[in-house]
Amino acid sequence: MFNHVKKIALAATVSLTAIAASGVSAGEVVTDIDVQATIDAPQGSNALQLYPTIADDLSREILERVDTGNDPAGPVLTIKIKRVSLDGDTILPDSAEFNELEGFVSYQRGTKDIAEMIRLSAYSDEASVPAGYIAVPPSQDDFYNAMLTAFADRVVALLPEADS
């Protein structure tokens, strides 16, 4: 029974993610996308040891949502992942759990210049689970993908609409 509930919850999550990701490519065609993970914390960070492909994974998520082109005068999109933490602590546990993701997004094209910090926080609230229901926490992979998906969706939302 538990596995059945878990599969239904996962399927619902995947469906909602697919719906949220569809049609978000309404922004301008981007010439270059540069995603970097430059995590630097005063107390140190082990996020890049635990997630060495985070920049590539986020780049892939963004490329699924943004149209790209070869116009050398086209816009450039730069994303820098600055912080991955668990409740503010940048030294992640051996389980690699994290619930906060921060990064800087810069979009430049001619006189258009957008720069914004994106800060995501995710918290599970088991108190909101209705009586008689079982809370099904996502797997670490589900959670990781959800955080990157939310970050990529916010990046796309910042892009200006395509010139008509």
Instruction: State whether the Cα torsion 9-47-22-157 is positive or negative.
Output: positive
Give the closest residue to 98 by CA, choosing from 64, 62, 124.
Answer: 124
User: Cβ neighbours of residue 131 under 8 Å, at least 6 residues apart?
Assistant: none
Specify the 3-state DSSP secondary structure of 97. coil
Give the closest residue to 138 by CA, choosing from 12, 54, 51, 1.
Answer: 12
**What is the value of pTM for the model shown?**
0.75
How far is Cα 53 from Cα 28, in angstroms, rounded to an integer?
27
Give me the mean pLDDT over the 36-57 stretch. 90
Q: Which range is least confidently modeled, 18-22, 37-41, 114-118, 142-146?
A: 18-22
State phi, psi for 162 to the nearest 5 degrees: -65, 140
State phi, psi for 136 to the nearest 5 degrees: -115, 100
State both tokens at 122: 């995710």
- Helices in the chain by DSSP H: which ranges? 2-21, 47-50, 54-63, 140-158
Q: Which range is least confidently modeled, 33-47, 56-70, 97-111, 124-138?
A: 124-138
